[in-house]
Chains A and B, each alone.
Chain A
Amino acid sequence: AQTVTQSQPEMSVQEAETVTLSCTYDTSENNYYLFWYKQPPSRQMILVIRQEAYKQQNATENRFSVNFQKAAKSFSLKISDSQLGDTAMYFCAFMKHDINNDMRFGAGTRLTVKP
């Protein structure tokens, strides 16, 4: 079974600064996908960034980037130039590359961006 661990229940950062959210996972699979989802107070789930395990290059999306360390089974999210609108719960998720596409989520990190 796959497990996803987010060891930081809460984090805060000053506006315009950089913050890194941690995520580790446990799997025996070789092909899989990793995601970061953002859940603002509205409770919608928004896909922030995804990473295919077979790709060496770390994914980036504007101010969001990941540090994917496959051997260490680590998948951290870096948010640069933090904005007030980044305040949200952030969930790390793992998906096996198989027909089920079943996803497993971490418990989440609550990020607060302070003005």
Chain B
Amino acid sequence: NAGVMQNPRHLVRRRGQEARLRCSPMKGHSHVYWYRQLPEEGLKFMVYLQKENIIDESGMPKERFSAEFPKEGPSILRIQQVVRGDSAAYFCASSPGLTSNQPQHFGDGTRLSIL
């Protein structure tokens, strides 16, 4: 029973490059959430997606950040032209969706380091 799968676990990028973070939700889950955890801080909500739809992106910076959850394949969090301040752990979580009252299940996170 695979949980939420995130890859890569660690990602190193130079300033100005693009970072792509992937998240495969648990089987049967159609809702995906992305969170960012800055060093020594709590999790900050970024974006909530269902298949092919962005439901809430209120926590995502307006520039350089985008997210998608296509009909087929994993959810992608894309950060363009990365800067040092983007260094953080990015967690993905999934839940079954509309009728569920279950908490979100988290992946192990992707640690993004910007050189």
Contacts and interface: CB of A to CB of B under 8 A. Distances in A.
B108 A95 contact: no
B45 A107 contact: no
Question: Shortest 10 CB-CB distances between A and B: which pairs?
Answer: A45-B106, A107-B42, A105-B43, A108-B42, A101-B95, A99-B98, A105-B42, A44-B108, A35-B103, A43-B109
A108 B103 contact: no
A107 B41 contact: yes
A102 B33 contact: yes
Given A102-B56, A103-B33, A47 B48 contact: no
B100 A101 contact: yes
Contact of A47 (B55, B89, B98, B103): B103
B13 to A, nearest CB: 19
Q: How large is the interface on B (under 10, 10 to 19, 20 to 34, 35 or more residues)?
A: 20 to 34
Given A101-B31, A103-B103, A91 B43 contact: yes
A96 B95 CA distance: 13
B82 to A, nearest CB: 20
A93 B91 CA distance: 15
A100 B100 contact: no
Contacts, number: 60
A97 B30 CA distance: 17
A78 interface: no
Contact of A100 (B41, B43, B56): B56
A52 B101 CA distance: 10
Interface in A23-76: 33, 35, 37, 42-45, 47, 50, 52
7 contacts: A6-B42, A93-B103, A95-B104, A101-B95, A101-B103, A103-B45, A107-B41
A43 B44 CA distance: 15
Contacts of A44: 106, 108-109
- Which has the most chain B C-beta neighbours within 10 Å: A44, A99, A102, A104? A102
